Chains A and B, each alone.
Chain A
Amino acid sequence: MTDKTVIHVIDDDAAMRDSLAFLLDVNGFQPQVYESADAFLGAADRAALDCVISDIRMPGLNGIELVRKLKGEGSSCPVILITGHGDVALAVEAMKAGAVDFIEKPFDDAALLGAIRSALDALPDNRTGSSAKNEAEARLAELSPRERDVLQGLVAGKINKVIAHDLSISPRTVEVYRANLMAKTGARSMSELMRIALAAGL
């Protein structure tokens, strides 16, 4: 059992914990579950963490605060945040705090397992290193200047209307640019787009 990678799962919902543990277990990981961030901090050996999957909205310390705390302690452990309230602002906040990924419930196992594998793969080297940055920049290369402006607005956590006002265009046009952004970068979700944008240093 010791050769398995330990994945720490933090969620206040019992069914969520149990189902995630089951999914991880059948996929060859060793899940360790906690019902709150505080319970996790109290129990886990923080020096030897492989990967953490945490819900965002929880009683006590929330997911984003947990990421900040771990990063503040200098931990390099990747944290994947999951949430039932997916919105751009929250995704940006999560990514800025240092989460490696932001996944909306309900999610496909492929999305979660993909996120875990890429997080674990990136573990040995610095994830903000040049290769990740280059890759992200490559995906953003095709964007027009206007599309970049809209993306910057999104990264700043602005809503469509505000971006439209700032750029003196209509909100409808902003929506079109957002659709273009997703298509050109090949991002499957808003959070993935945010991750790419942040990796590219936008």
Chain B
Amino acid sequence: MTSQRRFWLRYGSAAVAAGLVFALRFTLHHYFEDRTFTVIYVPVVVFAAFAGGRGPAIFATILCLGISAHFLGDSLFTNPANLIDVSFFAVLGPIIGEIGNRLLQESEDASYRQAQLQSVLDTVPEAMVVIDERGLMRSFSATAERLFGWSAAEVIGKNVSVLMPAPYRQEHDGYLNRYRTTGERRIIGIGRIVVGERKDGSTFPMELAVGEAKVGKDRFFTGFVRDLTEHRSQERRMQELQSELVHVSRLTAMGEMASSLAHELNQPLSAITSYLRGAATLLKAEQVDKSRIREALDRSADQALRAGDIIKRLREFVAKGETEQSIENPATLLEEAAALALVGAREQGVRVSLRCNRDLPDIVVDKIQIQQVALNLIRNAIEAMETAVRRELTIEVVRKDSFAFFSVADTGTGIAPEIAQHLFQPFVTSKANGMGVGLSICRTIIEAHGGRINARANDGGGTVFEFTLPFAEPEAAHDR
């Protein structure tokens, strides 16, 4: 509507109302004659004020004054009562106009705010349900309609418990009662994950946040509901992808170690061959030396087991298992990882010292993943010392407050400052053919276990990588 048309509509309706009252006054003139009777003009002004605001109200007042003057004629001035009456009306008119204008403004503001609020409520991803003190639903947002499958018309006035599965459905009124009587907050202002029920009877996990509002004596509760079904499945997908990546990086690590592992397997295989061929040679002699043959066979069996051990560890490591948390001893965990990671280290002239405090409390971890981190750090350390003269590798685990504190220290080339800053970011590498994902995966794993990982320069040259993992149970006894 254009502003000009509105102008004419506002003032026109005021003029029409004045016209009507003129007609009324004219028909009643026979009874009133020269009395003022300004009361009949009040509805005109009120109407004009509500319909058009201040301007039309004043306009209507002027028109009514004119009508009044027309009918009264000279008596307006000759009769003082009439003059007083009309003067009062002349003052009252603008006042009514002002009041009407205020009300109009406020109702416009209110409807504007209402529309704004409604648009917000319609677009927020959370569903909103407002209930009163008795648990009856007063408002049911569009998202709530989609989420629960009920339409607002169907549920407004019904008890909110229809949105919950048993046993909450039966108990919800009790919760409200308890809150009314004790004021104890179990969910209001706290929020928690609960189960909702749709119209079709299916249930779903949802996050519920409840706010409280008091309007006069009435109390309202506003519940915001977020559907966690999708959220959960996304989270699961992320975890799957991550474990996939972790597994791939484990395979890569093993691929890089393949040559060392082949060598490690060749040792026992060579030894077995020599023992068995030697034993076969002994059997050809006329006087068979049984004890020597038995000894050779025993030793070759030991070597076969040694080869088997290497393969078993390798298979465990590359196995694509579900991530599984188990209670582990930090020292055992580290020793096992080191055994695999140190394959071939000795041939490279690396002096290894493994210091494990066996009396540490247990940690709850995905064993393979933590071993992957340790293996990664140890292999990196060995690689860093390839060109170094002093090759000392120190691997240890000790207690540091409520954490198991692991460290892998080398005397290698150290880390260039420009790499150091981005060390744990993906695709940052100093290796000629590295992908630069190893350390970023290490960080992902350690942080997922509630620990931290960092690197610092070793005092005597080289680098120290440290990571922490929290002990299974915070030892309150120590703090007391």
Contact = CB atoms under 8 A, between A and B. Distances in A.
B262 A84 contact: yes
B273 A16 contact: no
A16 B271 contact: yes
Given A15-B271, A20-B274, A27 B266 contact: no
A27 B263 contact: no
A14 B24 CA distance: 126
Contacts of A106: 266, 269-270, 272-273
B270 A19 contact: yes
A192 interface: no
Given A18-B299, A84-B262, A12 B269 contact: no
Interface in A42-71: 57-60
Contact of B281 (A59, A105, A107, A109): A109
A19 B274 contact: yes
B267 interface: yes
A109 B348 contact: no
B274 to A, nearest CB: 4
B275 A23 contact: yes
Q: How large is the interface on B (under 10, 10 to 19, 20 to 34, 35 or more residues)?
A: 20 to 34
- Describe A's contact surface by its main secondary structure: loop
B266 A23 contact: no
B289 to A, nearest CB: 9
A165 B180 CA distance: 88
Interface in B212-264: 259, 262-264
Contacts of A125: none
Contacts of A82: 270
B273 A107 contact: yes
B263 A57 contact: yes
Contacts of A18: 271, 299
Contacts of A85: 259, 262-263
Most chain B C-beta atoms within 10 Å of own C-beta, residue among A19, A57, A59, A105 = A19
Interface in B336-356: 344, 346-349
B198 interface: no
Nearest to B284: A26
A15 B267 contact: yes
Given A84-B262, A105-B270, A26 B348 contact: no
Nearest to A62: B347
A108 interface: yes
B277 interface: yes
Contact of A26 (B266, B272, B278, B303): B278
B275 to A, nearest CB: 5
Contacts of B259: 85
A13 interface: yes
B346 A59 contact: yes
B275 A84 contact: no
A19 B349 contact: no
- Describe B's contact surface by its main secondary structure: helix
A118 to B, nearest CB: 18
Contacts of A60: 349
B296 interface: yes
A101 to B, nearest CB: 15
B306 interface: yes
Given A84-B262, A106-B273, A59 B349 contact: yes
Interface string A114-152: 000000000000000000000000000000000000000
Nearest to A20: B274
A22 B274 contact: yes
A22 B303 CA distance: 14
Contacts of A19: 270-275, 278, 299-300, 303
A22 B296 contact: yes
Contacts of A25: 278
Given A22-B296, A23-B277, A85-B263, A15 B306 contact: yes
A84 B266 contact: yes
A78 B394 CA distance: 39
B267 A16 contact: yes
Nearest to B295: A22
Contact of B348 (A20, A59, A84, A105): A59
A107 B278 CA distance: 13
A58 B292 CA distance: 29
A159 B344 CA distance: 24
Contacts of B266: 84, 105-106
A13 B303 CA distance: 12
Q: Which 4 A-B pairs have CB atoms at the shortest separation, nearest pair first? A: A109-B277, A84-B266, A84-B263, A19-B274
22 contacts: A12-B346, A15-B268, A15-B302, A18-B299, A19-B270, A19-B299, A19-B303, A22-B274, A22-B278, A23-B275, A26-B278, A26-B279, A58-B347, A59-B348, A84-B264, A85-B259, A85-B262, A105-B270, A107-B270, A107-B273, A108-B273, A108-B277
Interface of A: 12-13, 15-16, 18-20, 22-23, 25-27, 57-60, 82, 84-85, 105-109
Interface of B: 259, 262-264, 266-275, 277-279, 281-282, 292, 296, 299-300, 302-303, 306, 344, 346-349
Given A19-B274, A59-B346, A84-B262, 11 more contacts: A15-B267, A16-B271, A18-B271, A19-B300, A22-B296, A23-B274, A26-B278, A84-B263, A109-B273, A109-B278, A109-B281
